[in-house]
């Protein structure tokens, strides 16, 4: 009888601890659309994602070969990822009643497209997006970025950014540029610290490569 009581108490404690762990997780958003494999990686697990599944603050999101993924965040901002991407959701706080909050995303790898939501509309300073080569300041934004093969001399690994709507400021340790006309873009090498290249309209070939990397 005594042993049975010990096991019952232990089981209840286990359930309580699991409940605390779930409550401690902050929902950042949901998977709106998915093609092929994607996962959310935590300190303890590597969990497969599926459409309508949750993603949480602190998650590292990864996509596999040929994959595509759209995450819809709590403030209605969205992030589209291409294959072999890796990003970290550092922060996502949103109060729907006031529209206030903050968002921080770290893009480690892959091509992505970000469309700002309520947090950015209320206070653009409360959205922080960082990449391997630059940080991005948003201004009511729809833009893409990532590792590309065209846009700089052949054989130079590089990163590109292009604006579709609104504006972004692309800042590296060596300088910054503002993209504020639809179709404008800039590039940075991946192998050394450099300022963004002068702003110009991307060629059809450059734009097509980036769009193809995100197309479902």
Q: Provide the CATH number for the domain around residue 36.
A: 2.60.120.1440
Is 14 among the domain residues?
no
Is 6 among the domain residues?
no
Is 80 among the domain residues?
yes
Please tell me whether the overall predicted TM-score, pTM, comes out greater than 0.85 for this model: yes
Q: What tens digit of pLDDT does each residue of 7-51 get?
A: 344 444 443 333 444 446 899 999 999 999 999 999 888 999 999
Is 82 among the domain residues?
yes
Token pair, residue 17, equals 């601890």
Scored b (16 or more CB within 10 A) or e, 107-145 reads bebbbbbbbbbbbbbbebebbbbbbebbebbbbebbbbb
Residues spanned by the domain of 67: 24-212
Q: What tens digit of pLDDT does each residue of 92-102 get?
A: 999 999 888 99
Is 173 among the domain residues?
yes
Is 9 among the domain residues?
no
Domain count, the chain: 1
């Amino acid at each position: 009888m005594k042993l049975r009581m010990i096991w019952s108490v232990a089981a209840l404690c286990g359930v309580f601890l699991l409940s605390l762990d779930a409550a401690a997780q902050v929902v950042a958003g949901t998977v709106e659309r998915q093609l092929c494999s994607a996962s959310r990686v935590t300190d303890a697990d590597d969990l497969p994602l599926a459409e309508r599944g949750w993603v949480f603050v602190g998650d590292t999101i990864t996509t596999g070969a040929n994959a595509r993924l759209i995450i819809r965040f709590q403030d209605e901002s969205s992030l589209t990822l291409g294959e072999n991407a890796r990003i970290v959701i550092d922060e996502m706080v949103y109060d729907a009643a006031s529209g206030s909050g903050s968002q921080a995303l770290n893009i480690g790898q892959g091509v992505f497209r970000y469309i700002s939501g309520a947090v950015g509309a209320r206070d653009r300073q409360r959205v922080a997006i960082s990449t391997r080569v630059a940080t991005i300041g948003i201004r009511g934004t729809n833009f893409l970025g990532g590792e590309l093969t065209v846009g700089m001399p052949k054989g130079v690994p590089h990163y590109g950014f292009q604006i579709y709507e609104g504006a972004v400021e692309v800042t590296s340790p060596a300088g910054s540029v503002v993209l504020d006309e639809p179709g404008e873009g800039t590039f940075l090498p991946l192998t050394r610290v450099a300022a963004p290249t002068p702003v110009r309209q991307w060629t059809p070939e450059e734009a097509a490569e980036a769009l193809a990397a995100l197309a479902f």
